[in-house]
């Protein structure tokens, strides 16, 4: 529908055919490994329900506000990440730049985990047949520490991502986002029911749902903040770039509530799958990035039609991960096309290839290179920690400040209400309170506290 020509670009801008296209694509970006892999891992590592409570609070106080801000800025500017800042004020291009660096780093480890999903998809077809925590642990540990195999699967995942981005937004993103999310939600709900029926499930539910407030630390809050940004795809221009493809008549506030809601629902339900099983089978909840991958094989092994459910689950998770991965690559590609005059082919191949190489080292850091640590973290964990706990919140905070102080809340309000045509009762509160003060201040405080600066 949208295909405006820009004076400074050779290629016409692509756009989504409909608002449903935007919602599905934005939900496709948000829903991914963050919900099924990273969220349960962090809940387990940071003491259970207390993490969940803080996470939900930050979604409401910061996440939704920021999400709406990015969509609004992107649609107004009709540019991708860096270009959007430049269009409003040339001296703030660096805000977008922070996000692009974050995206680069995130995709390089994200694609490695995407490769794990492909491998587990194949294993699930064959059937896992193991419920012993020691054995599922060996399966996972043996695979990710292998010097070759996980890199091959990472290559497949990255090749798929590049291929979709190379074919462009309209034929790519929309087509793959449509059926996948409802299907993923259905299967996660089925798994949650199954998991909650396991013997000893109640203990897992208690861990996940009954908060122990003595466990709050500033590190927990920072990790929750990072996860909000990660899960909602904020702070690096994914949502901003998708916003720029959104039609001028669409309802931004509505779309900005739908997507965080669906995203949170899936993450929450994933916890209902993982934690009852963790406690029932005797896994260690704080076992780190492997938690989902060591727990699920046990669930599928003892479930009626476990092969079918297992393979369907990992297949849907793969699609969800792909729609997220393209939203990480697309802003960087769009930046090179719009700001540096590259064509889509060159941008997809060069950037994707570079990310593949960085990711290969991330994969090796789980095995042959696991001895190289900085601050007790291997390269994979470094990429994850720096991008999610540092770059995304900083990028997001400056984006909020940029929108409200530089671009101005009046302009943002005009855009978000489609020039006043749309009724948005909380508009003023959103722009002048939340975006201008509350969200950036919270991010700043959490950030300093999490780094141990006060």
Question: What track of x and - describes contact with ligand TRP for positions 328 through 367 (by CB under 6 A)?
Answer: x---------------------------------------
Distances (CA, A) of 121 to 72, 107, 114, 283, 308: 38, 20, 11, 21, 10
Span 26-65, contacts to ligand TRP by CB under 6 A: 29-30, 32-35
Q: How many Cβ atoms from other residues are within 10 Å of residue 252's Cβ?
A: 24
Cβ-based nearer residue to ligand TRP, 280 or 348: 348
Cβ-based nearer residue to ligand TRP, 24 or 128: 24
Cβ-based nearer residue to ligand TRP, 234 or 252: 234
Q: How many Cβ atoms from other residues are within 10 Å of residue 308's Cβ?
A: 14
Could you say whether residue 269 binds ligand TRP (CB under 6 A)? no
Could you say whether residue 238 binds ligand TRP (CB under 6 A)? yes
Instruction: Out of 81, 195, 280, 327, name the contact with ligand TRP by CB under 6 A.
Output: 327
| Concatenated DSSP letters of 319-356 | HHHHHHHHHHHHHHHHHHHHHH---HHHHHHHHHHHHH
**Shortest reach from residue 392's CB to ligand TRP, in Å:** 6
**Shortest reach from residue 420's CB to ligand TRP, in Å:** 31
**Shortest reach from residue 135's CB to ligand TRP, in Å:** 28
Beta bridge partners of 377: 374
User: What does the chain come to in residues?
Assistant: 454
**Which part of the chain contacts ligand TRP (CB under 6 A), choosing from 44-52, 205-213, 230-238, 367-375?**
230-238
Cβ-based nearer residue to ligand TRP, 319 or 360: 319
Q: What are the respective helix, strand and coil percentages of the chain, to the nearest 5?
A: 75, 0, 20
**Shortest reach from residue 136's CB to ligand TRP, in Å:** 23
The token duo for 168 is 């462009």
Cβ-based nearer residue to ligand TRP, 184 or 191: 184
Question: What track of x and - describes contact with ligand TRP for positions 391 through 420 (by CB under 6 A)?
Answer: -x----------------------------
Decide: 450 and 224 in contact? Cβ < 8 Å.
no
Instruction: Out of 16, 46, 176, 230, name the contact with ligand TRP by CB under 6 A.
Output: 230
CA 43 to chain centre: 16
Instruction: Out of 136, 231, 292, 348, name the contact with ligand TRP by CB under 6 A.
Output: 231
- The pair phi, psi for residue 374, each rounded to 5°, is -120, 130
| Cα distance from N-terminal residue to C-terminal residue, the chain | 51
Q: How far apart are CA 113 and CA 321, in angstroms?
A: 9
Q: How far apart are CA 225 and CA 445, in angstroms?
A: 11
Decide: 313 and 191 in contact? Cβ < 8 Å.
yes
Cβ-based nearer residue to ligand TRP, 231 or 301: 231
**Shortest reach from residue 321's CB to ligand TRP, in Å:** 7
Which stretches of the chain bind ligand TRP, using CB under 6 A? 29-30, 32-35, 106, 230-231, 233, 235-236, 238, 324, 327-328, 392
């Amino acid at each position: 529908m949208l295909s405006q020509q820009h004076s400074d670009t050779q290629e016409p801008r692509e756009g989504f055919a409909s608002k449903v296209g935007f919602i599905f694509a934005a939900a496709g970006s948000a829903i991914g490994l963050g919900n099924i892999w990273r969220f349960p891992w962090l809940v387990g590592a940071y003491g259970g329900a207390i993490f969940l409570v803080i996470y939900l609070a930050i979604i409401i106080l910061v996440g939704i506000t920021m999400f709406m801000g990015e969509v609004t800025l992107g649609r107004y500017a009709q540019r991708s990440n860096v270009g959007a800042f430049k269009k409003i004020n040339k001296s703030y291009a660096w805000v977008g730049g922070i996000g692009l660096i974050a995206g680069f780093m995130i995709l390089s480890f994200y694609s490695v985990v995407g490769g794990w999903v492909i491998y587990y998809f194949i294993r699930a077809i064959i059937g896992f047949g193991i419920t012993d925590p020691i054995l599922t642990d060996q399966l996972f540990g043996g695979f990710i520490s292998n010097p070759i195999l996980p890199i091959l699967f990472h290559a497949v995942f990255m090749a798929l991502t590049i291929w979709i981005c190379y074919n462009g937004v309209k034929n790519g993103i929309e087509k793959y986002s449509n059926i996948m999310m409802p299907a993923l939600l259905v299967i996660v709900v089925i798994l949650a029911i199954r998991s909650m029926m396991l013997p000893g499930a109640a203990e897992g539910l208690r861990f996940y749902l009954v908060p122990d407030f003595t466990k709050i630390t500033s590190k927990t809050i920072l990790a929750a903040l990072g996860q909000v940004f990660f899960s909602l795809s904020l702070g690096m221009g994914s949502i901003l770039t998708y916003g720029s493809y959104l039609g001028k008549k669409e309802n931004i506030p509505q779309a900005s509530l739908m997507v965080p809601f669906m995203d949170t629902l899936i993450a929450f339900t994933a916890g209902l799958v993982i934690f009852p099983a963790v406690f029932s089978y005797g896994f260690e909840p704080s076992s780190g990035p492997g938690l989902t991958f060591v727990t699920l094989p046990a669930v599928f092994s003892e479930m009626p039609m476990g092969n079918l459910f297992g393979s369907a689950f990992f297949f849907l998770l793969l699609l969800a991960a792909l729609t997220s991965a393209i939203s990480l690559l697309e802003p960087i590609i769009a930046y090179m096309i719009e700001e540096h005059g590259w064509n889509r082919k060159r941008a997809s191949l060069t950037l994707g290839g570079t990310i593949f190489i960085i990711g290969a080292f991330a994969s090796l850091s789980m095995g042959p290179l696991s001895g190289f640590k900085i601050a007790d973290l291997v390269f994979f964990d470094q990429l994850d920690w720096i991008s999610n706990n540092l770059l995304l919140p900083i990028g997001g905070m400056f984006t909020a400040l940029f929108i409200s102080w530089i671009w101005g809340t009046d302009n943002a309000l005009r855009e978000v209400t489609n020039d006043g045509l749309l009724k948005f009762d909380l508009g003023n509160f959103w722009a002048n309170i939340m975006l201008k003060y509350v969200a950036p201040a919270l991010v700043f405080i959490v950030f300093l506290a999490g780094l141990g600066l006060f």
